[in-house]
Amino acid sequence: MSELSLDPTHWLPHRPPFLFLDSLLSIEPGVRASARWTLRGDEWFFPGHFPGRPTTPGVLLLESIAQCGAVAVLTDPRYVGRLPLFGGVEHARFRRQVVPGDTVEVACEMTQLSARGGKGFGSATVKGKVAVETKLFFILADAS
């Protein structure tokens, strides 16, 4: 197989301000992916979450994990032309805050894939410490 693009916009339909991956670190199509997201501090959500103590919203960390999982799915030739959509989150545990200046390492591994959807387990860490970990469920829709 030829080398896979490590640009998330090559694989994902997401664009700023709702793209929460700066670069992909590794991809194993249909199995797993890892990525990096650096919070600069000028992101749109920090002024309101929270004034004087900017903190990355937990739901956006979950979205970054889902986007990473979507890369693992969409790089698999079986799922070309499909769009993974959130079906659910289970056992999400938030362990530390993510603040401006942090670089988040995101990883997601597929635990089940079918023609209709799947499941995965993902995490987001900062400096090797878990910020959040969760199980994700998704359905596969047609992209058009």
Our answer to whether residue 49 is catalytic in this structure is yes
Residue 139 Cα distances to 19, 55, 67, 144, angstroms = 20, 30, 13, 15
> Looking at the chain, how many residues does it have?
144
Tokens of residue 104, six digits: 């988040």
**SS3 category, 2:** coil
Give the active site residue among 10, 14, 49, 91.
49
Catalytic residues: 49
